[in-house]
């Protein structure tokens, strides 16, 4: 079923993209035939040498001039036919916001499933879906979802079970209470765990001795319905989402995600595990969507090492395939680097917290065995690839730091931008090691907001309050950005900025880890120029300077004029991509 779906998707999208007009790199265009000058109340350029402007000249999708007034741009406007665009007059404009770590297709799929998430789930065209308050409400929703299915044999796939909020993992006995006949599968909020009922086990003929790490068994040695961790969860989940990879549905979901991002001022998003469903089908989908000149967003795709290695069988063949994709990069769809994993899930309580561990004594999971990490990375490192590593807990940081040290000892590199992803916890000595080794950090700022008040009982008050350690990283001099890891957190850069400054939890009643708070200007850099640097694309985006792509995020108010807690509430007027204006009022369901 899955093979047919992804093959159909690939063929359909290849036909679609035959007519898609990929934009050429503007550096190949030698002359400016038509100039557009945008004027605004203020441009924050993120260029330290010229931090503010009132007018920005754009030609061939790139900034060609920045000035305090139209007079400053006369060398251009007196020579080249010019249109002055007044639509941003009175607005506050930043370089286009970047969400430096998302999972677009995965996030769009999960956020459009029946859901039992404990926290509110953002939507592109409608109000957020409210979270469940307790286990009873979660089960009531599942019973309602099951009753609404007209086909008695159709599977029920539900997303959002929250282990920390609910206090436990589900079992097949729990889900048998929803149905003993219909296949029922629950995907947890972290997307790292899956739970199934007895009907799934029977229909799939899952062997009791299945040898995948994370497959749960009861006291009698029987499958208990728990498939914990990425490999185990993928085993049970992927076959049930084949329908989401049908061409029309896959494109609808991707448009949904693009509009959700656009509504929140994002002009550049990322796919941090490209290929997790199907290498070929996803490449075709991304090409069809993002190389379309009418798509109001760019995407940086980071291939998932394990998916490419599984498909191509050997590192040299996998690297060759990744390099072939990179050679097809455009200004709209860029392929860069490769993604690795160390520990497992933050939300699913299977990350590796390090010394002290979990208060209840349970252990986390490794996605990649520590002794194998450096060896798996080495061929990619030697090929010159940027390496991004999912690394959440303190023990994971130790393993990732050790791997980078081994790589640098064997084949020293400069400006490699090896990046630690998520960084839920990190000691100061570890942050200084990142600095010494030339590494960067890409932090999920939502951890402290979503879990800071929930995790004292999990890892202790101090470690819970110091989640998402931006202050530690900046004090150590580590290049740092923030992200949503959507669908883990909402793709809302203005909310991320507020949280980076205020460090509040769900109650919004107190600051958590005050020493980790940062300033407004530091936070603004983390969603613009510093995000571009960490991703290795700061030659293209992140600041408004001549030669950079003309991508803007347009706000109704200046973040410098409101209190930190109010930054998240500033209305977003719209975005500009390559000089083309996309007002938020034009967002409509597809």
Residue 164 has pLDDT above 70, yes or no: yes
Scanning the structure block, which residue is given the tokens 């494109």?
A: 251
Residue environment code for 562-577, b if the CB has 16+ CB neighbours within 10 A, otherwise e? eebeebbebebbbbbb
SS3 letters across 88-119: CCCCEEEECEECCCECHHHHHHHCCCCECCCC
Mean model confidence pLDDT for the chain? 93
Answer whether 95's CB lies under 8 Å from 552's CB.
yes
Residue positions counted in the chain: 590
Span 330-353, average pLDDT: 96
Q: Encode 312-322: b = buried (16+ Cβ within 10 Å), e = exposed.
A: beebeebbebb
Alpha-carbon distance of 376 to 93, in angstroms, equals 43
State the average pLDDT over residues 538-550.
98
Residue 30 — very low, low, confident or very high, per pLDDT cuts 50/70/90? low
Interhelix angle 394-410/428-437, nearest 10 degrees = 20
d(Cα 315, Cα 277) in Å, to the nearest integer? 19
List CB contacts of 472: < 8 A, sequence separation 6 or more: 426, 427, 428, 431, 466, 515, 516
Q: CA torsion angle for 12, 18, 21, 26 (degrees, to 10)? A: 120
Distance CA 83, CA 137 (A): 57
Task: Tell me how far CA of residue 361 lies from CA of 178, 214, 356, 457, in angstroms.
Answer: 31, 17, 9, 12
Mean pLDDT, residues 370-391 taken together: 98
Taking Cα atoms as reference points, which of 413, 454, 423 lies closest to residue 351?
423
Nearest CA to 34 out of 72, 69, 85 is that of 85
User: Quick check: 135 and 166 in contact, CB under 8 A?
Assistant: yes
The Cα 54–Cα 93 span in angstroms is 9
Task: Report DSSP state, residue 109.
Answer: H
Alpha carbon 372 to its chain centroid, in Å, reads 25
3-class secondary structure, 420: strand
The answer, yes or no, to whether residue 11 has pLDDT greater than 50, is no
* Residue that the structure tokens 């993120």 belong to: 46
What's the maximum distance between 2 C-alpha atoms anywhere in the chain? Answer: 83
At 232, is the secondary structure helix, strand, or coil? helix
Strands 552-555 and 572-577: antiparallel
139-148 tens-digit pLDDT: 999 999 999 9
Question: Tens digit of pLDDT for each residue in 308-328?
Answer: 999 999 999 999 999 999 999
Res 432 pLDDT > 50: yes
DSSP H helices in 18-133 = 74-77, 104-110
pLDDT tens digits for range 166-214: 999 999 999 999 999 999 999 999 989 999 999 999 999 999 999 999 9
pLDDT classification of 29: cutoffs 50, 70, 90: low
Which among 279, 395, 297 is positioned nearest to 338, based on CA atoms? 279
User: Above pLDDT 90, what percent of the chain?
Assistant: 90
Q: What is the pTM of this model?
A: 0.92
Residue 244's pLDDT band (boundaries 50, 70, 90)?
Answer: confident
Q: Report the distance separating Cα 349 and Cα 360, nearest Å.
A: 11
pLDDT category, 27, cuts 50, 70, 90? very low
Burial per residue of 328-349, b for 16 or more beta-carbon CB atoms within 10 angstroms, e otherwise: ebbbbbbbbbbbbbbbbbbbbb
pLDDT in tens, 183-196: 999 999 998 999 99
pLDDT at 2 over 90: no
Give the Cα separation of 165 and 453 in Å (integer): 11
Outline where DSSP puts E strands in 168-275.
Answer: 184-188, 193-196, 215-217, 223-228, 266-274
Work out the pLDDT band at 247, boundaries 50, 70, 90: confident
Domains of the chain: 32-90 (2.30.40.10), 106-243 (3.10.310.70)
Lowest mean pLDDT among 234-238, 302-306, 501-505: 234-238
């Amino acid at each position: 079923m899955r093979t047919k779906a992804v093959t159909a998707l690939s063929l359909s999208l290849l036909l679609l993209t035959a007519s898609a007009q990929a934009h050429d790199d503007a550096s190949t265009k030698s002359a400016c035939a038509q100039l557009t000058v945008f004027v605004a109340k203020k441009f924050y350029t993120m260029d330290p040498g010229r931090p503010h402007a009132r007018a920005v000249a754009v030609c061939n999708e790139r900034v060609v001039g920045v000035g305090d007034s139209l007079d400053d741009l006369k060398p251009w406007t007196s020579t080249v036919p010019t249109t002055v665009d007044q639509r941003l007059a009175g607005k506050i404009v930043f370089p286009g916001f970047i969400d430096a770590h998302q999972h677009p297709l995965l996030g769009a799929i999960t956020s459009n499933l029946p859901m039992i998430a404990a926290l509110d789930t953002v939507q592109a065209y409608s109000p957020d879906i409210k979270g469940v308050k307790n286990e009873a409400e979660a089960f009531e929703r599942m019973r309602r979802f099951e009753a609404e299915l007209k086909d008695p044999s159709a599977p029920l796939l539900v997303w959002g079970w929250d282990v920390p909020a609910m206090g436990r993992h589900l079992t097949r006995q729990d889900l048998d209470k929803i149905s003993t006949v219909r296949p029922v599968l629950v995907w947890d909020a972290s997307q790292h765990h899956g739970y199934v009922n007895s009907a799934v086990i029977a229909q799939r003929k899952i062997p009791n001795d299945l040898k995948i790490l994370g497959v749960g068994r009861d006291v009698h040695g029987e499958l208990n319905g728990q498939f914990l961790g990425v490999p185990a969860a993928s085993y049970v989940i992927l076959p049930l989402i084949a329908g989401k990879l049908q061409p029309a549905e896959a494109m609808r979901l991707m448009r949904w995600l693009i509009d959700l991002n656009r509504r929140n001022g994002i002009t550049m998003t990322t796919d941090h595990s490209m290929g997790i469903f199907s290498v070929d089908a996803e490449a075709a989908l991304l090409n069809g969507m993002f190389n379309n000149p009418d798509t109001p967003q760019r995407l940086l795709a980071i291939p998932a090492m394990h998916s490419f290695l599984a498909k191509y069988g050997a590192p040299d063949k996998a690297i060759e395939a990744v390099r072939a994709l990179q050679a097809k990069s455009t200004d709209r769809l860029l392929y860069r680097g490769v993604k690795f994993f160390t520990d497992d899930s933050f939300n699913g309580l299977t990350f590796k917290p390090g010394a002290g561990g979990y208060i209840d004594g349970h252990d986390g999971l490794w996605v990649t065995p520590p002794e194998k990490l450096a060896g798996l990375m080495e061929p990619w490192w030697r090929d010159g690839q940027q390496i991004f590593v999912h690394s959440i807990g303190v023990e994971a940081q130790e393993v990732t730091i050790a791997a980078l040290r081994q790589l640098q000892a064997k084949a020293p590199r400069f400006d490699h931008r090896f990046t630690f992803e998520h960084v839920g916890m990190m000691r100061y000595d570890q942050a200084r090691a990142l600095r010494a080794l030339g590494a960067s950090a890409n932090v999920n700022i939502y951890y402290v907001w979503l879990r800071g008040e929930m995790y004292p009982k999990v890892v202790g008050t101090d470690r819970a309050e110091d989640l998402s350690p931006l202050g530690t990283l900046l004090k150590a001099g580590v290049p740092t950005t923030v992200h949503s890891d959507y669908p883990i957190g909402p793709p809302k850069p203005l909310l991320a900025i507020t949280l980076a400054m205020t460090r509040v939890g769900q109650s919004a009643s107190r600051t958590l880890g005050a020493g980790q708070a940062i300033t407004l200007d530091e936070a603004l850099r983390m969603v613009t120029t510093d995000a571009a640097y960490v991703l290795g694309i700061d030659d293209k985006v992140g600041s408004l300077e001549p030669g950079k792509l003309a991508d803007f995020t347009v706000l109704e108010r200046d973040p410098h004029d409101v209190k930190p807690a109010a930054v998240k509430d500033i209305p977003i007027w719209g975005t500009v991509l390559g000089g083309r204006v996309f007002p938020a009022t034009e967002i409509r369901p597809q």
